[in-house]
Chain A
Amino acid sequence: MADAMQPLPLSALAGSITPGRKGRRSGGPGVLVEEVRPSGIATIIARQGQTEALAAKVRLDLGCDLPLKPRRVDSAGVALIWAGPGRWLALAAADHVDAPFAADLETRLSGLASVMDQGHALSLLRLSGPRVRDALAKGFPIDLHPRAFGPDDAAITLVSHITAHIWQTRADPVYEVAVARSLAASFWHWLEASAAEYGLQIEGG
């Protein structure tokens, strides 16, 4: 029952993330950042003893293997990211059409898992650029060196006192970071301060 008058959602970074260059101006940007807006986000938690059945269902419906360690899988416009034992974050690509995403997942996974809509709970940033690892090292205490963390690896850690879920999408490298919506502005302050010496290019808008 979508309505022509329906309001648009407001990003938690609305006041912070304005396209343009921040920090060092000379040379190319060291870090590039853009806000990612998946069309749906859900938390999936396996019901007791159902992990195998859940994995089978995921394989059947999405054609990918449910990650049982801190990894990300991506198939048919849906990414599943390990978020703790028996727990995953599901992201629907921006052009994903099976909306509402969480409700659809809930129906498909009924009896195997609990599904919570988190479409507005998280702010997602995509980070890249030649100095992205140097900037991230100012907050992420984990090792992001390619020998330790590569494409489709994921981790949950604490950055500037803020819980951050990070995964890598490309080898060059490209990372995505999810933080709680209410803390997104504070996380942004940290990121802007940390990337300033390398030059931060804010894309999109």
Chain B
Amino acid sequence: MNDAAPNAHSAAPARRLGDNAPLRLAEGGLIDRSRTLAFTFDGQRYLGHPGDTLASALIANGVRLVGRSFKYHRPRGILSAGPEEPNALVELRSGARREPNSRATTIELYDGLVAASQNRWPSLKYDLLSINGLAGPIIGAGFYYKTFMWPAAWWEKVYEPLIRRAAGLGRAAGVPDPDTYDKANLHCDVLVVGAGPAGLMAALTAGRAGARVVLCEDDFRLGGRLLLDRREIDGRSALNWVAATEAELAAMPEVRILRRTSVVATYDHGTYAAVERVNDHVAEPPSHEPRQRLWRIVATRCVVAAGATERPLVFPGNDRPGVMLAGAVRAYVNRFAAIPGRRAVVFATNDDAARTVDDLAHCGVDVVAVVDARPQASAVMADATQRASARHISGGAVTRVHGRLGVEAVDIRAANGATARVACDLVCVSGGWSPNVHLASHLGGRPEWDATLAAFVARNLPERMDLAGAAAGDLALADAFTQGHRAGSAAAEACGFSAASAPIPLLDPESTATSPLWRVTGTRGKAFVDFQNDVTTGDLELAHREGFRSVEHMKRYTTLGMATDQGKTSNVNGLALMAELTQTSIPATGTTTFRPPYLPVAIGTLAGHHRGKEFRPTRLAPTHTWAKEQGAIFVETGLWLRAQWYPTPGEKDWLESVDREVRAVRSAVGICDVSTLGKIDVQGPGAAAFLDFLYTNTMSTLAIGRARYGLMLREDGFVMDDGTVSRLGPEHYVVTTTTANAAGVMAHMEHAQQWLRPGLDVTLASVSEQWAQLSVAGPRSRDVLRAVVDPAHDISDAAFPYLAVAEVSAMGGIPARLFRISYSGERAYEIAVPAGYGDALVRALMDAGRAHGIVPYGTETLGVLRIEKGHVAGNEISGQTTARDLGLGRMLSRKKDFIGRALAERPALVAAGRPALVGLKPVDRSLRLRAGAHLVAQGAEPTAANDQGYVTSVAHSPTLGHWIGLALLSGGATRHGERVRVWDPVRSGDTLAEVCDPVFYDPAGERLHG
């Protein structure tokens, strides 16, 4: 640190600005005066320049009042010049693109920008709800908890709408966002967060070493505070150094610079999230370009050079428009050539604020007083004050702010207690700087208190992360360069590169001396700690009085540090006041938890491409195009789209279509795409033994060219899935799974192979995608297939009986697999061809079947057919049913071991009286049964105690002419012939049903054989 004059630029102050002088300086700043941008705020038209933010353009136009506060509707202006802004929140853009709570300080100005203030009615200047300010004592901390307690029914109807109207901030657009958002991945050796002096130096060092570097800068310009302060590097303006560094970085092929990109989160293993505002600086994104992009950055090393945030001071009226952070004031005058006020008072606790005194004087602002809260006079501050010809008050304080819609004067209390009123329109405040420790704390490391800095610094860093510059507490520029270079070298070297040492630039002298002031005491009036949530010192005192001592409780009770700014300007002041109230130290009080994201992130950005139907992928069956042509109605089953039914002209509803499809299958022939079932190829010398272990029944005895129904249990003895097992060769099987369980069964089989039976030489491969498989069911099915399967293959009943399997060819030489298996109970086949031929196959079958009355059928008919036959499906194989419950107890082999065998014999799983599968017919055959209805004994009260089971599946059976159902009923088969009450409280159903065998149709199974 250096006690010499802090600013080498402080030559003779410019001529004082007159009262009517423009608030935009005639020269200087990083704006392009050759171009003018028009924008509107609250309907009023203004002009700005490229390089402006909305906040700087408003300041240059003399707009001080930009919003109303959250709770008290107090007039608010612009506090900061960065993403920490708690006050200047606006609705940006209009219509479907309207974005609430946008920070005016980070909105890059563009031509045609439209913004509106928030949280005011009827207008910003005359806000009727500002009466809340008078009710302050009533609506302090915990107001909602205490007031809106009862009656509970009032919550939704009265309290919530009331609170939302009164306290809500901006309004969402309310219609779908017309823009697109992107997500992308980025990998690098070194991620540098922040392109201020430390970040630029780190990136330069790592880049020169040859590392792949990603440099993310929140702003649209690189430079950080070098853009905001008038500094000299190597005897020239710091801007020259920034430009040269930027040019060198841009020329490095392995360095990627992301401007307008905020790194918002640190995750495990060197993963970071960043939001790039690709097209927020234009009215509408160019076609095909996203508005924003969410980057997932994976970095071997990370250097966080995210800077520091200046703290406001806590005194009555500190929220009035015109009270601004001292560093932000420098940003406006130096970078944007915009003058926030003509008569300024500077109230600070540190030497850094002396720069504000110099810079204001430099551009002609009348600095009327410099109030240094420190009792010992600072030479740096005194010199600056003298250069600005201002009054210097050491050990003083601002105790009151006059002016409602903006600062008009302040009361200054000198060290001796004398108070004087000073007219001014700008109060520059600085309570010191808090390093931005957020990214270093997202993984749970708590920052530690550094008394010298009067700030929290991150000490327990996540692995692979380093800090540099102000983010590390190194507030002096010289330290930022040194530490940036050190961190860049270390990061590159950790990635296997060797970094050369570089000379640290020669700098102008500087001082960062500071001493904290947590609040101005001995005053009256609302002194705000958290501007965005309207939390005052009084609220903290109230919370303390009411027993909220933990910092986390204090946060939740007062809402300090919540909302969109997450307390960036308020948390440290709040903690310090909390420590004072509880008479503990600041380190003992600790911080609240830092959680991602650092800045608010739009939901659309997190969704990226995955919105609407792209929320998840869709799987299309091989006959999808054909089914669409037929006008099929589709249903989502997992990721699959399956044909649910095929309406034909004149049909009134789905039931009519499904009845027709069912009748066609029972009387002629129907086809259905069953490709969605899982198909797993099992090969190897151990295949037979493996399947014996996997299924409850024996598969090793299955003859080649034959298929068998198979049942598998979970380890816990409940049924997992069912399907068919076909043997294609001595060591070659193909098994099917249900559509829903395909992936789960594959995982189960891989687990069994790798962990339970590693000794078996067996290979597993999903071949689900390879085959288009169509079910051809009905008495005429063989006739249809005869025309499609090549003539060389004999498919007569003698050669190809029920449960036969063969590898054949079809459609003139296309390899095919033919299975004689039936789910419908009719003579039925499944024919599989390579998936690309599925479309041709369905068309060939339809052509061949036309003369036989063929119909395509969907999943609804599939369901009716299986319910008529009493076959169980997902509704019954619910994970809570045993093989015995489902009437499949005979499939549990007693001759071999299989997965789930032991636990299936647990007493509760074999207990008599367990609900077991039965059929149900409504006693009044005209009535409908509903799945999900509960069963109670006839005449019994429908209570939980009397519950005997429930209806699992229902169908209207056109074959029987009435509704039928499958149910799990206590006692199961022993109750055939009884009547039960079917009670459906959800749809007000209460009918009687007759319990019967679940096989409603062809119980002897004669139709299977033709």
Interface residues of A (CB under 8 A from B): 1-12, 14-15, 23-24, 43, 45, 47-49, 100, 113-114, 116-122, 134, 137-138, 140-143, 145, 147-148, 160-162, 180-183, 185-187, 189-190, 193-194, 196-197
**Are the C-beta atoms of A114 and B182 separated by less than 8 Å?**
no
Q: Please list the 3 inter-chain residue pairs (A to B) with the smallest Cβ-Cβ separation, ordered nearest first.
A: A3-B812, A9-B836, A7-B840
A7 touches which one: B620, B625, B814 (CB < 8 A)?
A: B814
Contacts of B771 in A (CB 8 A): 120
Tell me the count of chain B residues lying within 8 A, CB to CB, of chain A: 58
Cα–Cα, bound, A23→B639 (Å)? 27
Contacts of B769 in A (CB 8 A): 118, 120-122, 180-182
**Are the C-beta atoms of B837 and A196 separated by less than 8 Å?**
no
**Are the C-beta atoms of A10 and B809 separated by less than 8 Å?**
no
29 contacts between A and B (CB under 8 A): A1-B809, A1-B813, A5-B812, A7-B844, A8-B840, A10-B625, A10-B838, A12-B620, A12-B836, A14-B625, A48-B684, A48-B686, A100-B815, A120-B770, A120-B771, A120-B772, A120-B834, A120-B836, A137-B184, A138-B182, A138-B185, A143-B187, A160-B614, A161-B610, A180-B619, A183-B618, A186-B614, A190-B614, A197-B290
**Are the C-beta atoms of B684 and A194 separated by less than 8 Å?**
no
Contacts of A147 in B (CB 8 A): 212
Cα–Cα, bound, A141→B844 (Å)? 43
Given contacts A10-B839, A185-B620, 16 further A-B contacts (CB under 8 A): A1-B790, A3-B811, A3-B813, A4-B812, A7-B840, A43-B765, A113-B763, A120-B836, A122-B769, A134-B184, A141-B296, A162-B617, A180-B769, A183-B619, A190-B614, A193-B609
**Are the C-beta atoms of A7 and B837 separated by less than 8 Å?**
yes
Contacts of B813 in A (CB 8 A): 1-3, 6
**Are the C-beta atoms of A114 and B763 separated by less than 8 Å?**
yes
Interface: B767 (CB within 8 A): yes
0/1 per residue, B724-763, Cβ < 8 Å to A? 0000000000000000000000000000000000000101
**Are the C-beta atoms of A196 and B296 separated by less than 8 Å?**
no
0/1 per residue, B170-213, Cβ < 8 Å to A? 00000000001011111100000000000000000000000010
Closest chain A CB from B181 CB (angstroms): 10
0/1 per residue, B860-899, Cβ < 8 Å to A? 0000000000000000000000000000000000000000
Cα–Cα, bound, A160→B182 (Å)? 12
Cα–Cα, bound, A9→B770 (Å)? 12
Closest chain A CB from B930 CB (angstroms): 33
A193 touches which one: B180, B640, B792 (CB < 8 A)?
A: B180
Closest chain B CB from A33 CB (angstroms): 16
**Are the C-beta atoms of B792 and A161 separated by less than 8 Å?**
no
Contacts of A1 in B (CB 8 A): 790, 792, 809, 812-813
Cα–Cα, bound, A10→B622 (Å)? 9
Closest chain A CB from B252 CB (angstroms): 14
Cα–Cα, bound, A129→B763 (Å)? 39
Interface: B56 (CB within 8 A): no
CB closest residue in chain B, given A140: B185
Contacts of B185 in A (CB 8 A): 137-138, 140-142
Contacts of A120 in B (CB 8 A): 769-772, 834-837
Cα–Cα, bound, A40→B68 (Å)? 69
Contacts of B834 in A (CB 8 A): 9, 117, 119-120
Closest chain A CB from B442 CB (angstroms): 20
CB closest residue in chain A, given B298: A143
Cα–Cα, bound, A32→B839 (Å)? 28
Given contacts A138-B609, A145-B212, contact A23 B618 (CB under 8 A): no
B770 touches which one: A114, A119, A185, A190 (CB < 8 A)?
A: A119
Contacts of A9 in B (CB 8 A): 834, 836-837, 840
Closest chain B CB from A45 CB (angstroms): 4
Interface: B683 (CB within 8 A): yes
Contacts of B838 in A (CB 8 A): 10
Interface: B288 (CB within 8 A): yes
Cα–Cα, bound, A2→B814 (Å)? 8
Interface: B287 (CB within 8 A): yes
Cα–Cα, bound, A49→B763 (Å)? 12
**Are the C-beta atoms of A6 and B625 separated by less than 8 Å?**
no
**Are the C-beta atoms of B609 and A2 separated by less than 8 Å?**
no
Cα–Cα, bound, A197→B220 (Å)? 21
Contacts of B767 in A (CB 8 A): 116-118, 121
**Are the C-beta atoms of A160 and B619 separated by less than 8 Å?**
no
Interface: B621 (CB within 8 A): yes
CB closest residue in chain B, given A149: B187
Contacts of A161 in B (CB 8 A): 610, 616-617
A185 touches which one: B184, B618, B811 (CB < 8 A)?
A: B618
Cα–Cα, bound, A117→B807 (Å)? 14
CB closest residue in chain A, given B625: A15
Cα–Cα, bound, A112→B836 (Å)? 29
**Are the C-beta atoms of B212 and A23 separated by less than 8 Å?**
no
Contacts of A117 in B (CB 8 A): 767, 770, 834
Cα–Cα, bound, A140→B837 (Å)? 31
CB closest residue in chain A, given B765: A116
Given contacts A116-B681, A143-B187, contact A48 B761 (CB under 8 A): yes
CB contact list, B764-791 vs A, under 8 A: 764-765, 767-772, 790
**Are the C-beta atoms of A121 and B770 separated by less than 8 Å?**
yes
**Are the C-beta atoms of B811 and A7 separated by less than 8 Å?**
yes
Interface: B289 (CB within 8 A): yes
Given contacts A114-B684, A147-B212, contact A197 B289 (CB under 8 A): yes
Cα–Cα, bound, A5→B788 (Å)? 12
Contacts of A7 in B (CB 8 A): 811-812, 814, 837, 840, 844
**Are the C-beta atoms of B617 and A23 separated by less than 8 Å?**
no
Cα–Cα, bound, A46→B718 (Å)? 33
**Are the C-beta atoms of A47 and B288 separated by less than 8 Å?**
no
Closest chain B CB from A190 CB (angstroms): 6
CB closest residue in chain A, given B764: A45
Contacts of B684 in A (CB 8 A): 47-48, 114
Closest chain A CB from B177 CB (angstroms): 15
Given contacts A7-B837, A182-B769, contact A24 B287 (CB under 8 A): yes
CB closest residue in chain B, given A119: B834
**Are the C-beta atoms of B640 and A182 separated by less than 8 Å?**
yes
Cα–Cα, bound, A180→B289 (Å)? 29
Contacts of B180 in A (CB 8 A): 193
Cα–Cα, bound, A8→B771 (Å)? 15
Contacts of A160 in B (CB 8 A): 609-610, 614, 617
CB closest residue in chain A, given B615: A161
A45 touches which one: B288, B620, B763 (CB < 8 A)?
A: B763
CB contact list, B488-523 vs A, under 8 A: none
Given contacts A118-B767, A121-B835, A193-B180, contact A182 B212 (CB under 8 A): no
Contacts of A182 in B (CB 8 A): 619-622, 640, 769
0/1 per residue, B261-289, Cβ < 8 Å to A? 00000000000000000000000000111
CB contact list, B955-989 vs A, under 8 A: none
Closest chain B CB from A2 CB (angstroms): 5
CB closest residue in chain A, given B770: A121
**Are the C-beta atoms of A118 and B770 separated by less than 8 Å?**
yes
CB closest residue in chain B, given A195: B288
0/1 per residue, B805-844, Cβ < 8 Å to A? 0000101111100000000000000000011111110001
CB closest residue in chain A, given B180: A193
Cα–Cα, bound, A187→B792 (Å)? 40
Contacts of B763 in A (CB 8 A): 45, 47, 113-114
**Are the C-beta atoms of B618 and A186 separated by less than 8 Å?**
yes
CB closest residue in chain B, given A11: B836
Closest chain B CB from A177 CB (angstroms): 15
